[in-house]
Homo-oligomer: A and B are copies of this chain.
Amino acid sequence: MDKIKVIEIKKSVFADNEEDAQALRKELKERGVYLLNLMSSPGSGKTTTLIRTINILKEKLRIAVMEADIDSDVDAVKIKEATGVESIQLHTGGMCHLDAEMTRQGLDNVGIGNADLVILENVGNLVCPAEFDTGAVCNAMILSVPEGHDKPLKYPLMFSVCDLVVINKTDVLPYFDFDMDKCREYILMRNPRAEIYPVCAKTGEGIEAFARALLQRVTEWKTNN
């Protein structure tokens, strides 16, 4: 098993997260590092989706990953073993989200000098992470089919702040009462700009389209930089 760097994240001492987030975003822009904040419920398939996506993009972009978790380093190990890209584990010590200062603590340890794209896998939680701007250029989230198509009704803020929404585990659509049309409608109700990508991370179906969209975003952002 690869040795993984584990960072114990400290609680922010700064009061103004908005200000921290803006400062971090500005700094990342200057350094040409695109930060993607990936959120979801526990068990929606963030890590598997990331592995597939990174393996498509890693020849085109220099990628690093920060895996936030309350405990354990299983995800960072998995990412590193399956993709070879730099991957560190951020321990939040029980905290339910990351804010900009905590994200910066991660970035200080992931070696962003060599990265075009840094992906932050946030704590599995549809509530709190949506409330804190991490300084990311783009927020993305994964909703998995077993969770149900009504989630944008119940977790409005999460769906409002995400421009990329992946709908994972489409292979089990036949076994769940999941209405894809309704789901799209509810997501777009929360954020009319949201791009929606149905995928099956287990088989890889649909991941190509998501990876392409992400590559385009990073490329355009770097070009306009």
Q: How far is the CA of A219 from the CA of B150 in the complex (A)?
A: 36
CB-defined contacts of A148 to chain B, threshold 8 Å: 43
The A140-183 residues at the B interface (CB cut-off 8 A) are 144-148, 150-151, 153-157, 169, 171-172, 175-176
- CB closest residue in chain B, given A175: B172
Residues 110-138 of A, flagged 1 when their CB comes within 8 A of B and 0 if not, give: 00000000000001111110010000000
Q: B96 to A156, Cβ gap below 8 A?
A: no
Residues 33-55 of A, flagged 1 when their CB comes within 8 A of B and 0 if not, give: 00000000111000000000000
Determine, out of A8-16, A24-32, A65-73, A204-212, the stretch whose residues face the partner at the interface: A65-73
A154 CB to closest chain B CB (Å) equals: 6
Q: A124 to B172, Cβ gap below 8 A?
A: no
CB-defined contacts of A146 to chain B, threshold 8 Å: 43, 144-147, 169, 172
Residue of A71, A72, A127 contacting most chain B CB atoms (<10 Å): A127
Residue of A146, A169, A172 contacting most chain B CB atoms (<10 Å): A146
- CB closest residue in chain B, given A71: B156
A61 within 8 Å of B (CB atoms): no
A200 CB to closest chain B CB (Å) equals: 11
Q: A70-B156, A171-B175 are in contact. Are A42 and B124 (CB under 8 A)?
A: no
Q: How far is the CA of A43 from the CA of B128 in the complex (A)?
A: 17
Q: How far is the CA of A151 from the CA of B43 in the complex (A)?
A: 8
CB-defined contacts of A171 to chain B, threshold 8 Å: 175
A147 CB to closest chain B CB (Å) equals: 3
A148 CB to closest chain B CB (Å) equals: 5
Q: A127 to B131, Cβ gap below 8 A?
A: no
22 contacts between A and B (CB under 8 A): A41-B42, A41-B147, A42-B151, A43-B147, A43-B148, A69-B154, A70-B154, A70-B156, A71-B153, A74-B153, A94-B131, A123-B127, A124-B127, A124-B154, A125-B126, A125-B127, A125-B128, A144-B146, A171-B175, A172-B175, A172-B176, A175-B175
Binding site for B on A (CB under 8 A): 41-43, 69-72, 74, 94, 96, 123-128, 131, 144-148, 150-151, 153-157, 169, 171-172, 175-176
